[in-house]
A and B are shown apart, each in its own frame.
Chain A
């Protein structure tokens, strides 16, 4: 079946450090891949997405590239800020309509 495995946290970084959160997936069809962010006390918000192999999604300084050969969609940011502290979820549509499978989430804390 469809699945997502993402790096377990928590991850603690200092401001301006480089961030990588790993995400790998399995899918039976041709999935789209997503990164969502959840700030404390809020719902999930779409951060970025990629709909086909080799696409790069980007937003707010975050980037992720859809790598079919390694079934990966790792999230990166060159210089994190305190305001980036949140839980990050990788999502996989699995190639089927109406289905979005999420990883367990990675808690990121950025210290000043």
Chain B
């Protein structure tokens, strides 16, 4: 049982390049999330998917797109990377997304945009 996996672990992009961060969970969870973590800012929600086939904006969605490919996979795309998107990105999942459900986190992707 791998839990939540993310690829890649590290990535360096030049300004304007695009890339997709991959996330998969094997816990049969319905809800999935993308966060970014910046020093002194805690974690901020970028997008979430309440269930397969739905996605919604979080606190900081600008510059990102997401795809809930199936129940297991939720990808995050940067179409034209900017230095302000240098961050550590975490994917998470929860069983139902209700107020009592905890979220399970992946190990993170460290992205640097030069």
Contacts and interface: CB of A to CB of B under 8 A. Distances in A.
A96 B99 contact: yes
Nearest to B107: A43
B99 A32 contact: yes
Contacts of B50: 97-98
Interface residues of A, number: 27
**Interface majority SS (helix, strand, loop, mixed), chain A:** loop
B68 to A, nearest CB: 13
Given A43-B107, A44-B105, A97-B50, A104 B97 contact: no
B105 A103 contact: no
A29 B99 CA distance: 10
B42 A31 contact: no
Interface stretch (A13-21, A45-53, A75-83): A45-53
Nearest to B103: A100
A34 interface: yes
A46 B93 CA distance: 12
A33 to B, nearest CB: 10
A25 interface: no
Interface string B90-114: 1010001111101111111000000
B31 interface: yes
A42 interface: yes
Contacts of A46: 102-104
Nearest to A47: B102
Contact of B102 (A43, A49, A95, A104): A49
Nearest to A42: B107
A41 B50 CA distance: 28
Closest 4 CB pairs of A and B: A43-B105, A104-B42, A93-B99, A98-B97
Interface of B: 4, 31, 33, 40-43, 45, 48, 50, 56, 90, 92, 96-100, 102-108
